Structure 1
């Protein structure tokens, strides 16, 4: 990256641009799907992807990990609604679990104000209405 488009860019914005640039720079060596995930399914420091099978998930994570490590990025804190996927993750890749994997109880993950029950796939969020009117009366 040679320049940022604003006078005082935020660190998150610069990191996001660097992440996208890393994906673009190494797109020739990896599948189109891995590049599309970074371009279309990433927001700030998170990525949400839904795949048809556990095998597809393992392949995608492997390709993304290798591709992004070339730019100095490491995929960490993964979550899945598939118990098989959870059992193959290392303890430091599981947010809030600390290596103790329990596939019998629902596990709820939160990001950007949205909670997701990874067992059922349900999303929940809370809406807080302001106590004062949003416009002048």
Structure 2
């Protein structure tokens, strides 16, 4: 796995999650992230490596410097590395997760109903392929 890049795993069939990945990729001006679907083989291998259940789809997952982050913590850690004003949200990390995560969980529980879902995982465009996680980037 590339040690300098953080990896974001997302629900590959969720329309909101895919829109979020588009948003992140557009603002990742310093090429700091790789992304991958939780449901696909590279994502599943990474979940296994970090002993996360392969059925986990409850939030995006951030793997950064050998540690795994979930839910609002993952989102805030991602925001601090994006181009623009998004790093200004990072101080919210000082709030305890039990205060931050209920809003994240509420949106997560309703994401398919509000935003819909695809029948299959997202396929990266030619321009995006270098940003998507591949099996050979995961070292065991």
TM-score bracket relative to the smaller structure: under 0.3
Normalized against structure 2, the TM-score is what?
Answer: 0.27
Normalized against structure 1, the TM-score is what?
Answer: 0.28
Structure of higher CA gyration radius: 1
Higher RCO (CA-CA < 8 Å; seq separation 6+): 2
